[in-house]
Amino acid sequence: MNLCLLSPINLSISSLGLLLQKCLKAKLLRPCKQIHALMLTSHIDMNALSLDSKLIGAYASCGDLGSAELVFERTRNLNIFAFNWMISALAFHGYPEKSIGYFSLLQQSSIIPNKYTFAIVLKACVGLMDLNKGKEVHSMIYRMGFESELSVANALIDMYGKCGNTEYARLVFNVMVERDIVSWTSLIHSYVNMGKIEESFILFEKMRLEGIRPNDFTWNIMVAGYARKGDCDIALMLFSKMSKEGLTPDLITWNAMISGFVQSQRSTEALALFLDMLDAGVKPNEVTLTGLLPVCGLIDSVSTGKEIHGLVYRLELFANVFVASALIDMYSRCGSVEDAWNIFKSVPFKNIASWNAMIGCYGKHGRVEHAIKLFEKMQYEVVLPNEVTLTSLLSACSHAGLVEIGLKIFWSMEESYGVRARKEHYACVIDLVCRVGRLEEAYNIIKDMPTEVTDSIIGAFFSGCKAYTRRDLAEKMAKDILHMDLKKPEGLVALSNIYAAEGE
């Protein structure tokens, strides 16, 4: 945009208004500031033809929220256009509270909101995840008669769905006179987010029966929803249908498919999907690779892991702490401890997941002293351990028979690290003391447990009783657990074996 021809002589209010509109649409910040400067130096009436409101809109559109707010504060005759831009820009740039604040200012003024106002402010409610505020806005929409507006109704469905109230989203949907692809997709997305995948599929089919063709976004939601739930066959069926209809899966969908197949331990298909993704020209990201790397452990193929490791370098994702942690875990699962350590020590930024992965790797492969030293180094570097860290350590101590070290860690968990012992920690410590025959101690720990006694804990105790011929303690525990609802019969099988060994 050439502003050289503009001068205090040939400036006109209408031409300035048109130029600001161009800045707004094209998001041109520098020309917007130049026009603002010309307006100030020429002493033009900013109220004329709502130039000040157009200036607010231009600044907001360009993302210069500070300038937009300054102009807003100095404007005497604000209109709905200025309010809408402030509410919208602040919500879009991650300031939902301030966005709602401007909506409150609007309510205090004599300016009447329009349908765009409500569609925008409902997005701010989503940003805050404030269902109650959303309901307040809904009541205003109803009172002012905007509920029948398609864009407003769609925004209501989106708000209720994302704030976790699928029932209200469905009620809004049911009373809509007109529905479009956005209406259907928003409600389907709501059901998928709540894990109601069957209901979403019914809606998906009903939408198609009513002659509305699903778009890429709708298909992607359905495919990803089934994949995340572990219904890989249905996900694959929908995935194939989507491709046949000429629609392209997005990266989120590819990631969900790969991760879903990995979690379902369908490793070969997960790798095949990854290759298909590369053939389709879709560039993997850190989510793709962290989701795929567990495949190498499942198929026990360090060579496949090294190939993916090479891809990590080529994509320049090595500095990503989550990818690095997944690589450490992959090498650990494949038994390559030295490779795991090489990754760990070369990661420029480590988070708790990186430390946990390496500590777990050492513990899993019997290098308990290394695990403990790394744990001490972790504390020296002021990284607070979490539940996973301590479970890995206790498990390592149990397998190595380091009873006193394990007990010291266990009994100091809450005081030293702020971590309250959970059933996983109790399972490790019961296994630890039972392995060395300290069954009375194990019995007392179980009796005093503040958390649920699991079948694995009981199983470990009875196995210890069998190994050290402590039928008396086994029978005592059996009486104590009569009221317990165990998920699996492992513990009772161990007790049965104790009796069988004595011919009973």
**Per-residue model confidence (pLDDT) at position 398:** 87
**Per-residue model confidence (pLDDT) at position 408:** 93
**Per-residue model confidence (pLDDT) at position 89:** 96
Are the beta carbons of 430 and 461 closer than 8 angstroms? yes
- Tokens, residue 435: 């392995």
Contacts 24+ apart (CB under 8 A), 463-468: 463/434, 463/494, 464/433, 464/434, 464/435, 464/437, 464/439, 465/439, 465/494, 465/498, 466/494, 466/497, 466/498, 466/501, 467/434, 467/437, 468/437, 468/439
**Per-residue model confidence (pLDDT) at position 475:** 82
pLDDT in tens, the chain (504 residues): 555 444 544 567 888 889 999 999 999 999 999 999 988 888 887 776 788 999 999 999 999 999 999 999 999 889 999 999 999 999 999 999 999 999 999 999 999 999 999 999 999 999 999 999 999 999 999 999 999 999 999 999 999 999 999 999 999 999 998 999 999 999 999 999 999 999 999 999 999 999 999 999 999 999 999 998 889 999 999 999 998 888 889 999 999 999 999 999 999 999 999 999 999 999 999 999 999 999 998 998 999 999 999 999 999 998 899 999 999 999 999 999 999 999 999 988 888 999 999 999 999 998 999 999 999 999 899 889 999 999 999 998 988 889 999 999 999 999 999 999 999 999 999 999 999 999 999 999 988 888 778 888 888 888 888 888 888 888 888 877 766 554 444 555 555 655 555 555
- Residues 214-223 as b/e (b if ≥16 CB within 10 A, e otherwise) read beebbbbbbb
Report d(CA 51, CA 57) in Å as an integer. Answer: 10
* Overall pTM surpassing 0.85 (yes/no): no
**Per-residue model confidence (pLDDT) at position 1:** 54
**Per-residue model confidence (pLDDT) at position 487:** 42
Are the beta carbons of 162 and 126 closer than 8 angstroms? yes
Nearest alpha carbon to residue 397 among 370, 417, 419, 420? 370
Residue entry with tokens 């079948």: 455
Report d(CA 441, CA 445) in Å as an integer. Answer: 6
One-letter amino acid identity for 340? Answer: A
**Residue 305 C-alpha from the chain's centroid:** 25
Give residue limits of the domains in the chain: 431-503
- Tokens, residue 103: 């909506």
